[in-house]
Structure 1
Amino acid sequence: MLILYKLILYMIVMLNNLILFLTISKAQAKLWKILLFFIVTIATIFFVDPYYIILDPIYFFVFSLLIRPNKSLSNHVFYSFLTATISDFMSRMVGYIILPTLFHQSYEYLSTQTWYVILVYALILPLYAFIHCVLHIDYDAIQLANSEMVSKTYQTMNITMVLFYILVQSSIFIEHYLPSFALINAYYRHLIIYFYALVLLWGILNLNKISTRTVALIINDERRKHYHNLAKYNHYLESLYQEIRDFRNKTSRNLLSFEESIESGDKERIRQDFQEYIQNRQNPFPEQKYYLDKLIHLKISPVKSLISAKLLEAQEKGISVTIEIPDVISTLAMKEIDFIIVLSVFLDNAIEAAMDSHGKRIRLAMFMHDEAVNVIIENSSLVEKINLNQIFASGYSTKGHNRGIGLSNVMKIMNRYPKCSLSTKSSNYTVTQHLTIH
């Protein structure tokens, strides 16, 4: 009976923590990995009982490393300890305050009941959901934000959470082995818990505020770029219209002149005019300048304006541009703002790399395959093969320190779309990004 009780308790505790971790970190993992972690952890707890709570952050730190290998060490520490800390706080709030108040009984009496501990942990998730709703914490913004202030807040919270966990779990250890210090030890432990509850609340709210503000700035910047791209695209269309009108007027004049030659009956004049106006006439619309007509199959206006502006910018910088969109693309299985951010980073990096290279070329292709949108961006590079591990590292940018959101943040966006994939290759002085959106 005792073994069954422990098994139920451990399963509830670990299920709570697992749901908290996946909710807070926005991590995506295959079901078999989650089940394997759950089973292995429960089995491990049986061997280290009664100290399983002490090892909770370690379990989730390892789990985070396995399912999110591209994240920084600070990120792994933050979410593993935040999960354990929130779970610990919620259980103490339910056990020490909420249930004794509801049942009009002391904690000392209730804690002697077999069902009490299970009920405490069963109520953690409902309480967390209520507090999360009241505080309006945006974990999506925390994941996406990338600024110096956010990094400093991460580091500060990591240090305080680790210290808090060491202090509290050490006091529990002392209470277990030194019963004579139990009352004094429990008193100071409660003081630490209440004090750190305020510190943690301030830290989460501050991180939420900074992250929300950072993401709002990113969105506003992308919106400003969108308007700029629209203006540039409209200017491009106006120049096309003007050149077509000039061509039409010039053609009308040439045809009138050719008509006069025919009416004159002068064969030599007719031959000369025919060669000048028709036979030897070169294409007045160079393909390199008018390639943007291939965007006609792209029906998403913000994306179309972004691509046109970026490729016009590349052309103005002397880069040869090729674009192919053979299929009609009207929808994406990704938020529009996320796709624009990803595409903008890819195109900016492609333009920058192509400018420094000898080939100076960019190729963009968008097409449908197996009901998925495929985006391929290929550019020439200065070196034969670049270090792909470096370009995806957090904080790395070819533009310099704190410039652009970088490829590391592209991976943050990609992690929110488990059905999407990104393949990056570099060889023969060419870099290729292949994004598949399911």
Structure 2
Amino acid sequence: MIFLYRLTLYTIVMINNLVLFLTISKTQVKPWKILLFFITTIPIIFVVDPYYIILDPIYFLCFSLLIRPNKPLSNHVFYSFLTATITDFTSRLVGFVVLPTLFHQTSEQLTTHMWYVVLVYALVLPFYVFVHYILHIDYNAILVANSEMVSNIYRAMNGTMVLFYILVQTSIFIEHQLPKYTFMEAHHRYIIMYCYVFVFLWGILNLNKVSSRTVAITIDDERRKHYHNLAKYNHYLESLYQEIRDFRNKTSRNLLSFEESIESGDKERIRQDFQEYIQNRQNPFPEQKYYLDKLIHLKISPVKSLISAKLLEAQEKGISVTIEIPDVISTLAMKEIDFIIVLSVFLDNAIEAAMDSHGKRIRLAMFMHDEAVNVIIENSSLVEKINLNQIFASGYSTKGHNRGIGLSNVMKIMNRYPKCSLSTKSSNYTVTQHLTIH
């Protein structure tokens, strides 16, 4: 009976933690990995729990490192300790406040029932959903927000959660296993817990507020850029229409003059007019200027306006531009705002690098292959081969300190899309970025 009780309790606790961890971190895991996690952790808990050793955040820290190896250590620490802290606080709230109030009994009276603790942990997830709904915590914003203030709150919360865990769990272990070395009475520990609840809530709510504001600013910024790009593209279309109209009028006048030459019957005049108006006439629409018609197959308006604006900017700076979009592209397996940020960073860097190079060229290709959208951005570079191990580090740039933040953000975005891949190559004074979106 004791074995069944412990197995049930440990399983429910770990299910709570796992569901919270996967929900909060927005992580998808294959079922066999989840099964392996339970097979590994449950026996360990059976061994260490009688000694009052609670390692829940450590289990999930290891689990996070294994299933999300590309994430920074601070991210692993945050989500593993956040999960354990939420479970701990929610279970205490349910066990010491909610259920005693409902049953009109003290928590001491209720804990005399062996299965009471199991009931408490069984109610953790439903109660958490209720509290989460009231507090309106946007974990999506917390996940995608990227700013110095958000990073500072991350570090502060990581420090306090780890310190709280070490302090409380160490005091519990010493109290029960080494009582003569006890440095904290139980009531002192509860005071620390109650105080930390407010610190924790302030931290998570502040992180939620700052993250939501950061994401909103990013979206507004991208929207403004989209409108600017759209205006620039419209201006390009207007100038194109004006030039076509001028060409049509000029051609009409030339044809009328040529008609008069024919009617005159003067062969010499006909020959001269033919050479002037037709034979020696240069192409009035050079391909370099009117390449944007190749965007016709791109059906995503924000992306089309971004590409047109960036490549018009490149052309104005004297950079040779080539576009190839042979296939119709109407959808992406990536959020539009994420793709626009990634594409904008790549194009900005390509323009900057091409400006400094001798070749001054950029080539953009978008096409479908094996049901995936492929994006290739190629640009000339000043050096024969750049150091690919450094370019995606935060703050790295060949142009100076803190000029390469965009590329580090690209990797953070790419980490959200495990089915997408990015290949970067550099050789023969050329840099190539190949993005595959599945």
Q: TM-score range by the shorter chain?
A: over 0.9
2:15 counterpart residue number: 15
> Hey, what's the Cα distance between the residues in 1 that align with 2:346 and 2:59?
36
Between 317-326 and 26-35, the greater mean CA deviation after superposition: 26-35
> Hey, what's the Cα distance between the residues in 2 that align with 1:53 and 1:330?
55
> Hey, what's the Cα distance between the residues in 2 that align with 1:39 and 1:394?
38
> Hey, what's the Cα distance between the residues in 2 that align with 1:389 and 1:83?
33
> Hey, what's the Cα distance between the residues in 2 that align with 1:395 and 1:19?
35
2:34 counterpart residue number: 34
Q: What pairs with 1:79-228 in structure 2 (closer than 5 Å)?
A: 79-178=79-178, 185-228=185-228
1:55 aligns with 2:70: no
Q: TM-score if structure 1 supplies the norm length?
A: 0.93
1:263 aligns with 2:273: no
Seq. identity, %: 85
Q: Deviations over 1:114-141 (max 9, x none)?
A: 2112111111111111111111111111
Q: TM-score if structure 2 supplies the norm length?
A: 0.93
Structure of higher RCO (CA pairs closer than 8 Å, 6+ residues apart): 1
Question: Is the alpha carbon distance of 1:400 and 1:58 closer, same or farther for their aligned partners in structure 2, counting shifts above 3 Å?
Answer: farther
Between 225-234 and 269-278, the greater mean CA deviation after superposition: 269-278
1:420, distance to aligned residue in structure 2 (A): 2.9
2:83 counterpart letter in structure 1: T
Question: Is the alpha carbon distance of 1:27 and 1:394 closer, same or farther for their aligned partners in structure 2, counting shifts above 3 Å?
Answer: farther
2:224 counterpart letter in structure 1: R
> Hey, what's the Cα distance between the residues in 2 that align with 1:394 and 1:14?
36
1:413 counterpart residue number: 413
Question: Is the alpha carbon distance of 1:400 and 1:202 closer, same or farther for their aligned partners in structure 2, counting shifts above 3 Å?
Answer: farther
2:235 counterpart residue number: 235
1:250 counterpart residue number: 250
> Hey, what's the Cα distance between the residues in 2 that align with 1:15 and 1:393?
36
1:286, distance to aligned residue in structure 2 (A): 0.7
1:280 counterpart residue number: 280
Q: Deviations over 1:296-342 (max 9, x none)?
A: 11111111111100111111122211111111222223222222222
1:53, distance to aligned residue in structure 2 (A): 6.0
Q: Helix, strand or coil for the counterpart of 2:50?
A: coil
Aligned length: 438
Q: Deviations over 1:222-251 (max 9, x none)?
A: 111111101110110111011111111111
Question: Is the alpha carbon distance of 1:69 and 1:392 closer, same or farther for their aligned partners in structure 2, counting shifts above 3 Å?
Answer: farther
Between 341-350 and 221-230, the greater mean CA deviation after superposition: 341-350
> Hey, what's the Cα distance between the residues in 2 that align with 1:31 and 1:289?
54
Between 64-73 and 392-401, the greater mean CA deviation after superposition: 392-401
> Hey, what's the Cα distance between the residues in 1 that align with 2:292 and 2:267?
42
- Contact 1:27 1:415 (8 Å CA) reproduced: no
- Contact 2:53 2:173 (8 Å CA) reproduced: no
1:252, distance to aligned residue in structure 2 (A): 1.1
Between 388-397 and 313-322, the greater mean CA deviation after superposition: 388-397
> Hey, what's the Cα distance between the residues in 2 that align with 1:122 and 1:225?
49
- Contact 1:350 1:379 (8 Å CA) reproduced: yes
> Hey, what's the Cα distance between the residues in 1 that align with 2:428 and 2:69?
28
2:2 counterpart residue number: 2
2:387 counterpart residue number: 387
Between 285-294 and 43-52, the greater mean CA deviation after superposition: 43-52
> Hey, what's the Cα distance between the residues in 2 that align with 1:178 and 1:228?
68
> Hey, what's the Cα distance between the residues in 2 that align with 1:52 and 1:266?
112
Q: Deviations over 1:185-231 (max 9, x none)?
A: 11011101100000000001111111111111111111111111011
